[in-house]
């Protein structure tokens, strides 16, 4: 993570193998990528780093320095099930429609595509090797999109 540059690099993942958290590398070359961060997220991550430094001091020699961004109070990586359970709790507390944590990836991709973001850019952010994968899996017709397409077609025909 390079907050001065406003980016984070994806070089490894944490997955469950037979129920056990395991470090892995992204499945494709495209999966190893650098993602730009907006200024608000950079500020949030800087605050997180400040809290994490305090945890590191409190843990002393028990701190496990493995380079993870999100850890427990001893620097160990969080269990994927803990992250999912915590997400579900936050969704419930905010009284939002229940979705799985992974579904937020679909939502983000669909919203970027619906807002007109270039499919190649979205594919690179998601770590897809081809924009076709992004379009096939993530591009959904959102409410109002069909009507907007019809209006744009009519405007083009009348101009």
Distance, CA of 139 to CA of 159 (rounded, Å): 29
CA quadruple 62, 65, 66, 71: dihedral sign? positive
Q: pLDDT at position 142, please?
A: 57
78 and 116, same structural domain? no
> What range defines the domain where residue 146 resides?
102-159
112 and 94, same structural domain? no
Q: pLDDT at position 74, please?
A: 93
Per the structure, the count of domains in the chain is 2
9 and 60, same structural domain? yes
Q: Are 68 and 48 in contact (CB under 8 A)?
A: no
137 and 86, same structural domain? no
Q: pLDDT at position 140, please?
A: 60
Q: Residues for the chain: how many in total?
A: 159
129 and 88, same structural domain? no
97 and 19, same structural domain? yes
Which residue stretches of the chain have pLDDT < 50? none
For 102-115, write each residue's pLDDT tens digit.
888 888 888 888 88
Looking up residue 84, the CATH number of its domain turns out to be: 1.10.443.10
> What predicted TM-score, i.e. pTM, was given to this entire model?
0.71
108 and 86, same structural domain? no
129 and 52, same structural domain? no
Distance, CA of 136 to CA of 40 (rounded, Å): 31
Q: pLDDT at position 56, please?
A: 94
87 and 9, same structural domain? yes
7 and 83, same structural domain? yes
Helix (H) or strand (E) holding 16: strand 13-17
Distance, CA of 24 to CA of 106 (rounded, Å): 22
For 16-33, write each residue's pLDDT tens digit.
889 898 888 887 878 888
């Amino acid at each position: 993570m390079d907050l001065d540059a406003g980016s984070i690099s994806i070089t490894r993942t944490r997955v469950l193998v037979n129920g056990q958290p395991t470090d892995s590398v992204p499945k494709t070359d495209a999966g190893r990528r650098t993602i730009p961060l907006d200024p608000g997220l950079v500020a949030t991550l800087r605050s997180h780093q400040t809290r994490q430094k305090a945890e590191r001091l409190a843990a002393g020699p028990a701190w496990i320095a493995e380079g993870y961004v999100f850890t427990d109070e001893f620097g160990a990586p969080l269990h994927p099930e803990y992250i999912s359970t915590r997400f579900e709790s936050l969704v419930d507390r905010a009284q939002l429609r229940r979705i799985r944590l992974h579904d937020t990836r679909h939502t983000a991709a669909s919203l970027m595509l619906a807002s007109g973001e270039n499919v190649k850019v979205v594919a690179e952010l998601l770590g897809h090797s081809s924009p076709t994968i992004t379009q096939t899996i993530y591009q959904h017709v959102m409410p109002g999109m069909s009507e907007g397409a019809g209006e744009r077609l009519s405007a083009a025909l009348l101009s």
